[in-house]
Amino acid sequence: METFRLSVFAADKTFYEGDCEMLVFPAVEGQCGVLAHHRNMIAAVVPGTLYYTLPDHQKKMAAVSNGMIKVEDNEVLVLVDSAEHPEDIDAIRAKREADMAQEAILQKESIQDYNIAQANLARAINRLKVKRHYNDSVEKGM
């Protein structure tokens, strides 16, 4: 299978740079895929699971937050606020963050606080979902 250059940058780190056979990212319309020589495009990335396949056919996944993707001339750039490998996600901490965000939503101090709490809740729930999916796939030997 042909490859393309993939660069995934989180706000605080370089998450991945290298060749890739396939990328699936969470978008407003649902999951979107990119293969080598994909048409040029720019799209929004929403909180969800990013899947990518390396040239050795190894499948990887990551929990990502809001951001954007640019596909141009067989190079893909993904810029997100955060990106985490599922094995690096602390499920207990993510559950605690979800609980705190839910409490903040209930208190509704201001519109800004409410929006921040909503974003924090979405991120925490996404992290838990990715961790659970990863654990299930490891148990099944995938």
Angle separating helix axes 91-107 and 111-139, nearest 10 degrees: 150
Q: Same domain, yes or no, for 115 and 128?
A: yes
* 29 shares its domain with 67: yes
CA dist., res. 90 & res. 135, Å (int): 12
**Residues 10 and 30 grouped into a single domain:** yes
Q: Which domain holds residue 43?
A: 4-84
Q: What is this structure's pTM?
A: 0.83
Evaluated on CA atoms 110, 100, 107, 26, the torsion sign reads: positive
How many domains is the chain built from?
2
Reduced to 3 states (helix: H, G, I; strand: E, B; else coil), residue 116 is helix
Q: pLDDT digit of tens for each residue in the chain (142 aa)?
A: 899 999 999 999 999 999 999 999 999 999 999 999 999 999 999 999 999 999 999 999 999 999 999 999 999 999 999 999 999 988 899 899 999 989 888 887 788 888 888 888 888 998 999 988 888 877 776 5
